């Protein structure tokens, strides 16, 4: 029997992820959106691509949350996106209500699942979903670091004229303007990037990475979706195939990096049980300071969230 993955939200990110799952044939799929016809229409379209992909995965779609019954993995992409000029944090109240509905349904219909949260503001929404489901925190994980790291890798590869496959780079911290690109762990073929690129080039790359989401929002009028869904698939594969990947994900901290009681982007080992370990990298003092600053922003947002009646 194939694994069943359920996705809340059949919008840009949800539908792109659905396509990747059907195309890669890794699991059966359930697509739930408050807009029933949108979910069903996209599922029909995807199903008609199955003969072309040579994919026999089953697809179910609709607006009823109980459709997720039996899902081993649930991805939350339901929610509003930012418009040009908006920050992710401005989505807090709207998306808290939407994510709370999804989390309640997950608790009821997929109580043993692993949950990947995508909706923004990411770290706060992941915290909320962990609180509402009551799941062990290792089973509730936020997707942002894989995407932010992919953006950093791309810009570094372009600057070096190198292949993206040969770049190691990681972005930690909250998924917002205070994210922390970790240059001390970034390299090309084992060579530290600080030795290969000038300070001013690296500074520009870091700035572009932090603004990469906004750069796309300004052009599209909505959030990115190809790279977020690809990043989500990487996390899904790490879980389904127990890959024990070292990935930056929004994870619950219990004192690691001197931070506790919040979700924040940190390096983790991701496998069949979800977060199997938070990895303690030796960050330099500047990076550690930036990570703590980012944690303070996330903490403030979580405190704001605690005051919202859901």
Distance between terminal CA atoms of the chain? 37
Query: Considering only residues 19, 30, 113, 119, which one is a binding residue for ligand NAD as defined by CB under 6 A?
Result: 119
Show the tokens assigned to 185.
């762990």
Is residue 188 within 8 Å of 196, Cβ to Cβ? yes
Q: How far is CA 206 from CA 78, 219, 263, 291, in A?
A: 29, 20, 23, 15
Site for ligand NAD contains 225 (CB under 6 A): yes
Query: Considering only residues 5, 7, 13, 71, which one is a binding residue for ligand NAD as defined by CB under 6 A?
Result: 13
Site for ligand NAD contains 223 (CB under 6 A): yes
Show the tokens assigned to 133.
């489901």
Nearest distance from residue 285's CB to ligand NAD, in Å? 28
Kindly identify the residues of this chain, within the stretch 145-204, that bind ligand NAD according to CB under 6 A: 147, 175
> Which residue numbers are catalytic?
175
Nearest distance from residue 166's CB to ligand NAD, in Å? 24
Q: Which residue is nearest to ligand NAD (CB)?
A: 11
Site for ligand NAD contains 120 (CB under 6 A): yes
Site for ligand NAD contains 144 (CB under 6 A): yes
* Short-list 30, 69, 64, CA closest to 47: 30
Nearest distance from residue 198's CB to ligand NAD, in Å? 29
Site for ligand NAD contains 95 (CB under 6 A): yes
Is residue 123 within 8 Å of 177, Cβ to Cβ? no
Sequence-distant (≥ 6) Cβ neighbours of residue 57 within 8 angstroms: 2, 21, 22, 25, 26, 27, 28, 29, 50
Instruction: Name the site residues for ligand NAD (rule: CB under 6 A).
Output: 8-14, 32-35, 38, 77-82, 91, 95, 98, 101-102, 118-120, 122, 143-144, 147, 175, 222-225, 228
């Amino acid at each position: 029997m194939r694994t069943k993955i359920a996705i809340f939200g059949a919008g840009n990110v949800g539908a792109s992820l659905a396509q990747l799952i059907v195309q890669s044939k890794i699991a059966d799929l359930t697509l739930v959106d408050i807009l029933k016809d949108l979910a069903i229409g996209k599922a029909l379209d995807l199903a008609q691509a199955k003969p072309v992909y040579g994919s026999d995965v089953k697809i179910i779609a609709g607006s009823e949350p109980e459709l997720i019954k039996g899902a081993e993995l649930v991805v939350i992409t339901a929610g509003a996106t930012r418009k040009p000029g908006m920050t992710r944090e401005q989505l807090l109240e709207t998306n808290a209500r939407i994510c709370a509905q999804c989390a309640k349904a997950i608790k009821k219909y997929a109580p043993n699942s692993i949950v990947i949260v995508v909706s923004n503001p990411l770290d706060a929404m992941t915290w909320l979903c962990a609180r509402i489901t009551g799941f062990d925190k290792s089973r509730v994980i936020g997707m942002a670091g894989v995407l932010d790291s992919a953006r950093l890798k791309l810009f570094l590869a372009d600057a070096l004229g190198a292949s993206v496959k040969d770049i190691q780079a990681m972005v930690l911290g909250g998924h917002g303007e205070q994210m922390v690109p970790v240059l001390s762990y970034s390299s090309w073929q084992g060579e530290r990037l600080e030795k290969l690129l000038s300070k001013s080039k690296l500074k520009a790359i870091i700035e572009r990475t932090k603004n990469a989401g906004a750069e796309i929002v300004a052009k599209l009028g909505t959030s990115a979706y190809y790279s977020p869904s690809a990043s989500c698939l990487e996390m899904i594969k790490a879980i389904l195939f127990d890959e024990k990947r070292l990935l930056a994900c929004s994870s619950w901290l219990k004192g690691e990096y001197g931070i506790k009681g919040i979700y924040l982007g940190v390096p983790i080992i991701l496998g069949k049980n979800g977060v199997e370990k938070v990895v303690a990298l030796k960050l330099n003092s500047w990076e550690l300071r930036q990570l703590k600053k980012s944690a303070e922003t996330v903490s403030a947002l979580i405190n704001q969230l605690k005051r919202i009646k859901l």
